[in-house]
């Protein structure tokens, strides 16, 4: 996506000060290591300083009072280059969603209610009793089963599956392959050890402004509801089991798995491949590091890591000891040998 933007216009948007020509044109944005002629980049943390001498960008966002050692660059000084870059990206470069109208190949049950300005793509199925709010866009091959309610201005990409009775709030985004309301993993063995299915008769509720990544699955409740609360953002390939509750403004990275009936608090961060067992509670403002396993509740705010997940400072000390086990074993062996020598000395008869 290309634009023709004056540097002076960009600087006004982010409250920046220009060093160099404000009349130059910017056509795109790029990372500092990949930026070329006509592109704007930014200098983030110290790890990216190494790319500054060689960047081919036309203009760069930097912190105020940055040492401008290159005269061929145009500088835009701001308080926070990363945040300013995000403002520019959002304002000028947000992708346009072009789906318009209702494709004739879509099947819409006569009892379904379709609000104004809804767009529906090819081969979409919307069953009886469904409600689709105004301005929502539903892409190709999506299937929405009976009595599902979808709010206003939602964006549902291709090949999404919404099982019966699911409820979505406003401005929800579902990326390709998301499955909402599949059966929870509920089975019980009979007297012969043969597993019998437990009917899953609850629903899934997705509140306003939730975004769910590609191929993520959220199971319907056995009874009651599975709920993802307002503002939560979920990455690709996440599994959320039946009767789980996730609090407001929580984020989860790829391959997180949450077992049934667990409760996750508000403003939590679950890094990649975190596994959470069932029937436990994670408090508000909890951060759990990548690949951690959580077998018991973590009610207190803080950062946790490892298996079992423990406070970060404890986890790091433990990890340090684990890395030194070979050294410890060698020292212990030497101490044992010395003890044996001392015992032999003590056993000798005194003169």
SS (H, E, C) 176-232: CCCEEEECCCCEEECCCCCEEECCCCCEEEECCCCEECCCCEEECCCCCEEEECCCC
Distance CA 242, CA 223 (A): 9
Q: Which of 91, 109, 242, 321 is catalytic?
A: 242
**Is 175 a known active-site residue?**
no
Alpha carbon distance 158, 150 (integer Å): 16
Q: Is 166 exposed, middle or buried (0-12, 13-18, 19+ CB in 10 A)?
A: buried
Q: Confirm if 138 and 118 have CB atoms less than 8 A apart.
A: yes
Query: Kind of pairing, strands 195-197 and 187-189?
Result: antiparallel
Q: Are 226 and 240 in contact (CB under 8 A)?
A: yes
- DSSP-derived secondary structure letter, 50: G
Burial of 277 from C-beta contacts in 10 A (0-12 / 13-18 / 19+): middle
Nearest by Cα to 86 from 23, 39, 24, 44: 44
Active site (catalytic) residues: 242
């Amino acid at each position: 996506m290309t634009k023709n933007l004056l540097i002076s216009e960009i600087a006004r948007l982010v409250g920046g000060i220009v060093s160099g020509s404000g009349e130059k044109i910017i056509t795109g944005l790029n990372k500092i290591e990949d930026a070329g002629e006509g592109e704007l980049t930014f200098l983030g943390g110290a790890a990216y300083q190494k790319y500054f001498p060689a960047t081919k960008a036309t203009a760069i966002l930097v912190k105020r009072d940055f040492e401008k050692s290159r005269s061929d660059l145009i500088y835009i000084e701001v308080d926070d280059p990363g945040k300013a870059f995000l403002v520019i990206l959002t304002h000028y470069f947000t992708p346009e969603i072009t789906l318009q109208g209702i494709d004739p190949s879509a099947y819409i049950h006569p009892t379904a209610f379709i609000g104004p300005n809804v767009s529906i793509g090819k081969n979409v199925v919307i069953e009886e009793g469904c409600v689709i709010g105004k301005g929502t866009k539903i892409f190709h091959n999506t299937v929405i089963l009976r009595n599902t309610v979808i709010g206003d201005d939602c964006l549902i990409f291709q090949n999404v599956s919404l099982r019966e009775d699911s409820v979505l709030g406003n401005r929800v985004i579902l990326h390709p392959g998301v499955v909402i309301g599949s059966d929870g993993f509920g089975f019980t063995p009979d007297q012969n050890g043969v597993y019998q299915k437990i009917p899953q008769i609850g629903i899934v509720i997705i509140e306003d402004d939730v975004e769910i990544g590609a191929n993520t699955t959220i199971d319907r409740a056995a009874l009651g509801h599975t709920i993802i609360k307002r503002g939560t953002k979920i990455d690709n390939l996440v599994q959320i089991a039946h009767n789980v509750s996730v609090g407001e403004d929580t984020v989860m990275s790829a391959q997180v798995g949450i077992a049934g009936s667990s409760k996750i608090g508000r403003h939590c961060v679950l890094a990649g491949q975190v596994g959470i067992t069932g029937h436990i509670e994670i408090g508000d403002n909890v951060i759990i590091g990548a690949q951690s396993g959580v077998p018991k509740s973590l009610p207190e705010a803080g950062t946790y890591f490892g298996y079992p997940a423990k406070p970060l400072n404890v986890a790091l000390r433990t990890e340090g000891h684990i890395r030194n086990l070979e050294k410890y074993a060698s020292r212990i062996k030497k101490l044992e040998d010395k003890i044996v020598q001392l015992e032999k000395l003590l056993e000798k008869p005194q003169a």
